[in-house]
Amino acid sequence: MAQLQYDPTSADSILEYAKKLSGKSLSQAVDLTGVAENLKHKGDLGTMVERYFFEHTPPNNHDPDFAEAGVELKTTGVKKNSDGEYKAKERLVLTLINYMTLVDEDWAGNSLMNKCRLMLLLFYYYEQALPVYDRKFVFDPLLWSFPEADLKIIEQDWKTIQNKVNDGLAHELSEGDTFYLGACRKGSGGPKEPLKQQPRSPIGAKARAFSLKPSYINTILSAHATEALLLDNEQKVEAGLDVATFEKFKPYIGLTVDEISDMLDFHKQGKNDKGFYRSLTMRMLGTKKKVIPEFEKAGVELKTIRLTTKGMPKEDMSFPIFRYTDIVDEEWEDSTFFNKIEQKFFFVIFKYDDNGELRLHKVMYWNMPYEDREEAHRVWEKTKSQVIADKAEFLPKSSESPVAHVRPKGKNKEDKIPTPSGKMLTKKCFWLNKKYLAQQLKK
DNA sequence: GCATGATCATGC
DNA sequence: GCATGATCATGC
């Protein structure tokens, strides 16, 4: 047998090796030729991962799968809810409950925690139609142990279950008895399924397993999910984030806004729905939320742009407001504006056609060229020096720079903040000139 | 038609 | 209550 590519006695090494599965299915990660079709238990992805990916045989006792590293391997399914968030497909089964021995255990050193204290969680995207080995792992694997605070609850739950068995009520156990740790049904459930013996009662009890409830898994997920809305498509993962994004928009390119609205069942609310094109864009990306985690993580600034028939943006591009009292003490490289324009941008561009119909024109990534950032820097310094000179009413106009300017941005003209000298002026922000954007978009 | 001023809906 | 992204409005 070939040398293992990880150290089975080291949890970190196991985790690092497991990352090779990210974004792939088991069948993509290892060659299962001649294996998959002969499987008896096609439902057990965890066993297959252990055998064919880790090339490891778990111990035949109550120790964790990787006994020396103390790591228990778990695969668990996730799905998406209507908001595009990943949620647990179901509870995570930890280990079967042995009613006969449970009553003699103490929490200290109990067999459940002995096995599951440290778990390597592999989240795969649940698709019913696919065999388990073709389902993709959508996040990086997570090496996970219970936080102290949770462990208290788990301990109480464990004792609740133990007490019930001790009271001769194993057959009455239900998941609702407990909070995080559940005693879930395990087994076929059919009429022929043999009942389990319990120590304090002659009544047979159905097989149950210790499990973590879906809601609990969801909290683990949301903490871990630097989730990949775009990561669920294999070609995208292999080709990178940029291709992934283009693929997302491909079906909509060239369509009118009305057509896209109909497809996504999301329509403009009223004339003043100024966030509409952005919201629509988010829907095209598959979420109803405000942020795209992958963009967040990569620091990508999403902006929507509407072009006139002639290719001129309808509007300048705004950035967050600055405070007069802050900018005087700021250095360029600490400023919000600097930090924004340093980022990679992702433009979603709509364009009016000759019939006045707005269509999704194209999407593109964009970085602001260095010279232009220097020009923006100049505008920023000018702004700062004007505020210092107590001339905050007179800030760089769009006619003063080919790249950027300063302009009001507030709720209305009464929406004011103080200058260092105490004058109240309308809130303002930096803008990129639409003419400048027009030039850049042509490149 | 352009530059500049003013404002809106949304979500946290 | 307020920042944000974006759009609307107006005067020259």
From the C1' of B12, which residue's alpha carbon is nearest?
Answer: A290
Q: What is the mean pLDDT of chain A?
A: 86
A426 vs A128, more confident: A426
What pLDDT is recorded for position A370?
86
What pLDDT is recorded for position A233?
44
pLDDT above 90 covers a percentage of chain A that reads 53
What pLDDT is recorded for position A152?
85
Protein A85 CA to nucleic acid C12 C1', in Å?
A: 51
What pLDDT is recorded for position A2?
61
Banded pLDDT at A237 (limits 50, 70, 90): very low
Q: Alpha helices of A251-303 — where are they, by DSSP H?
A: 257-264, 276-284, 293-298
Q: At what angle do helices A257-264 and A276-284 cross, to 10 degrees?
A: 60
pLDDT above 70 covers a percentage of chain A that reads 91
What pLDDT is recorded for position A234?
40
Protein A7 CA to nucleic acid C8 C1', in Å?
A: 63
CA distance A355 to A252: 19
A2 vs A423, more confident: A423
Coil, strand, or helix at residue A351? strand
Name the β-bridge partners of A109: none
Which residues from the 231-290 window of protein chain A have CB within 7 angstroms of nucleic acid chain C?
271-272, 274-278
What pLDDT is recorded for position A226?
47
What pLDDT is recorded for position A224?
74
Cβ–Cβ < 8 Å for A383, A395? yes
Integer CA distances (angstroms), A131 to A24, A39, A97, A135, A270, in order = 14, 11, 28, 7, 46
What pLDDT is recorded for position A409?
94
Q: Which helix (H) or strand (E) holds A99?
A: helix A99-102
Protein A411 CA to nucleic acid C2 C1', in Å?
A: 9
Cβ–Cβ < 8 Å for A21, A53? yes
A216-236 pLDDT per residue, tens: 888 788 777 644 444 444 434
Region of poorest pLDDT, from A70-79, A296-305, A386-395: A296-305
Chain B footprint bases within 7 A of protein beta carbons: 2-12
What pLDDT is recorded for position A60?
82
User: Nearest nucleotide to A413 by CA–C1' distance?
Assistant: B6
What pLDDT is recorded for position A298?
65
CA distance A175 to A213: 8
What pLDDT is recorded for position A247?
83
User: Residue A44 has what DSSP assignment?
Assistant: -
Which residues from the 4-63 window of protein chain A have CB within 7 angstroms of nucleic acid chain C?
none
What pLDDT is recorded for position A82?
60
Classify residue A175 as exposed, middle or buried by CB count within 10 Å of its CB (0-12, 13-18, 19+): middle
A9-68 pLDDT per residue, tens: 999 999 999 999 988 899 999 988 877 655 655 558 998 999 899 999 888 888 999 999
Protein A133 CA to nucleic acid B10 C1', in Å?
A: 42
> Which is nearest to A301 in space by CA: A313, A319, A276?
A319
Any residues with CB less than 8 A from the CB of A18 and at least 6 apart, and which? A120, A122, A141
Report chain A's C-alpha Rg in angstroms.
Answer: 29
DSSP A384-404: HHHHHTT-TTS---GGG-SSE
**Tokens 């035949």 sit on residue:** A60
Mean pLDDT across the stretch A263-267?
88
Q: Is the CB of A70 under 7 A from strand B?
A: no
